[in-house]
Every structure is written in C-alpha cells, then in structure tokens.
A and B are shown apart, each in its own frame.
Chain A
C-alpha cells in the first residue's frame, strides 16, 4: 500500500471498500448542506474516510446549546463568534490535511444552491428545516445529482437515499411540508446526540458506498431509527416513485428552485431569532459598518461577521459579509426588519 493510503489502511482492509474504493473516495466531491448536528458528524466521518473534496455550506454561527451534539465545535468557537462552516473547516483540516475542505458561510436558497452544487457528485442533508430539504430535492432533480435525506428529532431519526429520476424523491415520500407550528421541532421536542450520530452514520454509509462506485449496494430504503426505544425499521421505497405521480420528479415542478416557495426572512424557530435577508445581494464592508455602529452599542468583529449588542434594548444583531443578519431578541419579522433597516441599511 502506498504511503498516502496508509492513514486509510483499516478501511481499505475492509473487503467492501478495498484500495480501489478508497481511490474513488479520494476523487469524489461532496456538498454538505447545513453544518449543525447531522452536518458535523457527516463532515467528520467523510473527512476521516478520505473523501477528497468537501464543500460545507452553513448560514449560522456557533452557540452554547449546539455543543451537546454538534461534534466539531467547542467553547472557543463561541467566544470568537465563529461561523459554523469556518469553525468546522478548521477542525476538519487538523483531522485530515490531505483533502480539500471548502467552507461557505451562506444561506442556502434558490439563488445560492446552483453554484454550491457545481462539480458535486453527491449532496448530503445536514439541514434543520423542510424548506431547504425541498430546495435540495428540486436542485438535485434538476442536475441529476444523488442526495441523501436525513432528519432527526428527539431520539428518533430517518434517512433515505435519493437517485433523481430513478428512485423516489423527497416529494414522492412527502408531498408537502407540515403546516408551520403543527409538528415538533428540535427546539420544542429536543434532540439526543446519539440519535443524530446513528442517523448521520447511516447516511454516511450510503455516501461511502456511492462514492466508492457501488451504487448497486445502496438499498432503496427509508431507514427509521429510534435510539431510546432501540428500534430500527427499514421501509421499502423502491416502488414509491412509480406509484406516487410526483409533481416534482414526474411533473417537472420546481417550486423551491424557482423561488416560488421558501421565504426571504426566516423566523429561526424556538430561538427567539429572525434571519433577515439583505434587500440587495452584495458584499458588506464589515469594518466600515463596525465603525459606524460603535455609538449604537457594543460591537465585535471577525473576518466573517459583526456582532452588535444594542445598549438600551435586548437585541443582538449578527451581520454576515453577504449582508444577512440574524437578529436575536424577537420572533417578529416586522421588528427584525425595522432593526435591520435602522442599523444596517435598506
């Protein structure tokens, strides 16, 4: 075995993968959408396994309540207000410096997803909401890129591989998003680290098979796991596409990719925070903005974001270079927009 493969020797010895499979992993390119609980486990697993190129896209920064399950982050990342994609990339490069880690601090929406998917062999779902999953589904159908759905709440999780135009897509499985506020979320029902780890690991196994050129070994199953109950169910979805008359993969509908669905401002559920999208796309000059805001409150700044804590009121505004802001202290869109135009501009 050549020396550059030595670090992967234990998985090369595993007959299912072998040296040939390892070389294919090293030549593959993966996009991980979302770098929270699922995303950090997926990213770490694929980094250690030697997937050659990982693009990691996330819009958020690290917070204290993330550390219980988001395995790549620590207290220093919180103190330095690190965006998740950047904090993750730093850890991953320390784990494996021989692969390429390409972090993007970005809100995945219908305008950003196409460039993110360029040159990508597989998309992995590490997101925490349905709107982005349906957007990924649209984009993957459009480009013919395989992706792996994953979701988790409480002790419970699901994952399913999706091969566009061959197997069931997410909308074949679930035609519509549950009404806002009806179903539980991680914020209302909580989430256990081990549930995240099991679901991400199942999803990562699918990635390893696929990227090592063994697509035929990926079962067309929706895996449903509950770590508290100790149950693992596998639902056969091989016939689901044919029996679903799906508007997306059979009717060609792209509601999320066209921008018809998916909102500009987003209430970050249960976090008392709202994300406000910039009125115009473009890069903000953060040091300049910081100077301007010093009279308004306490300002801190790093390469990726600016944090303004307002003096009189209990709002905290985090502004990213792409002009987005996450405004903490409200779940009212109108209040958040007003604060945005007052301090950042309209």
Chain B
C-alpha cells in the first residue's frame, strides 16, 4: 500500500500523520485519504479536482506530471509526498 506523507502543518488546526492507503494512482491514493480527512480535499484540489497551485506532489522523489488528473502511477511501496512551501525563516 502506498504511503501518503504531508508537509507538517500543511493546514492550520489539522494534523495529518503519514497514512498507508489503497490506490494505483496518485488520484486514487488521495481520494482514500480524503475519506478520512475531508477538510483536506478542498485545500489540495480545486472543485474540478485539479491540484491547487500552492501545493505540489512528489512520488518517490519525482514531481507528478499530471497536475490535472493526478493519473501518475504509484506502486505498493511508493511514497506520495504532498508538499507545501514554508513561510517561516
């Protein structure tokens, strides 16, 4: 089962620990996570289910190609990293 990891403190007041989930694509894996954390959906994808501009996703250290449909394939041991830039410094 692929593992979905989020930038810590992705969204204020929301704790998103790394999650093992089902799915053969980024889309499927994320949908499974959204079932548990429904507040995340609107933050990560827009109403057409495209990846929002302020986040990026890396699968096994490579950026996803398909930001619209998130069709990039994931393997059973893949890490899907949902990344957001950090404001602090």
Q: Which residues of A contact B (CB under 8 A)?
A: 34, 36-39, 125-130, 133, 149-158, 170, 173-179, 181-186, 188-189, 191, 196, 222, 224, 226, 233-237, 239-240, 243
Q: A158-B83, A178-B54 are in contact. List 6 more A-B contacts (CB 8 A).
A: A36-B89, A128-B89, A153-B86, A156-B86, A176-B53, A243-B63
Q: Are B89 and A185 in contact (CB under 8 A)?
A: no
Q: Please, which residues of chain B bring their CB within 8 A of the CB of A151? A: 85-89
Q: Please, which residues of chain B bring their CB within 8 A of the CB of A126? A: 89
Chain B, 36-83, CB within 8 A of any chain A CB = 43, 52-56, 58, 61-63, 65, 81, 83
For residue B59, which residue of chain A has the nearest CB?
A235
Q: Are A177 and B8 in contact (CB under 8 A)?
A: no
Q: Please, which residues of chain B bring their CB within 8 A of the CB of A240? A: 63
For residue A150, which residue of chain B has the nearest CB?
B89
Q: Does B84 contact A (CB under 8 A)?
A: yes
- CA separation between A225 and B10, bound complex, in Å? 15
Q: 3 shortest A-B CB distances, which residue pairs?
A: A151-B86, A175-B53, A176-B53
Q: Are B87 and A234 in contact (CB under 8 A)?
A: no
Q: Are A174 and B62 in contact (CB under 8 A)?
A: no
Name the distance in Å between A280's Cβ and chain B's nearest Cβ: 30
* Known contacts A127-B89, A178-B54; is-contact A237 B63 (Cβ 8 Å): yes
Q: Does B25 contact A (CB under 8 A)?
A: no
Q: Does B7 contact A (CB under 8 A)?
A: yes
Name the distance in Å between A78's Cβ and chain B's nearest Cβ: 20
For residue B52, which residue of chain A has the nearest CB?
A176
Q: Are B8 and A183 in contact (CB under 8 A)?
A: no
Q: Please, which residues of chain B bring their CB within 8 A of the CB of A196? A: 89
Q: Are A177 and B86 in contact (CB under 8 A)?
A: no
Q: Are B56 and A174 in contact (CB under 8 A)?
A: yes
* Of B8, B12, B56, B88, most A-chain CB atoms within 10 Å: B88
Q: Are A236 and B61 in contact (CB under 8 A)?
A: yes
* Known contacts A236-B61, A240-B63; is-contact A182 B12 (Cβ 8 Å): yes
For residue A173, which residue of chain B has the nearest CB?
B56
- CA separation between A226 and B86, bound complex, in Å? 12
Name the distance in Å between B69's Cβ and chain A's nearest Cβ: 14
Q: Are A185 and B88 in contact (CB under 8 A)?
A: yes
- CA separation between A182 and B85, bound complex, in Å? 13
Q: Are B89 and A174 in contact (CB under 8 A)?
A: no
Q: Are A182 and B65 in contact (CB under 8 A)?
A: no
- CA separation between A130 and B11, bound complex, in Å? 16
Q: Please, which residues of chain B bring their CB within 8 A of the CB of A243? A: 63, 65
Q: Please, which residues of chain B bring their CB within 8 A of the CB of A226? A: 8
- CA separation between A178 and B84, bound complex, in Å? 8
For residue B55, which residue of chain A has the nearest CB?
A174
- CA separation between A47 and B54, bound complex, in Å? 34
Q: Are A173 and B9 in contact (CB under 8 A)?
A: no
* Known contacts A154-B8, A177-B54, A183-B12; is-contact A233 B81 (Cβ 8 Å): yes
Name the distance in Å between A206's Cβ and chain B's nearest Cβ: 15
Q: Are A191 and B85 in contact (CB under 8 A)?
A: no
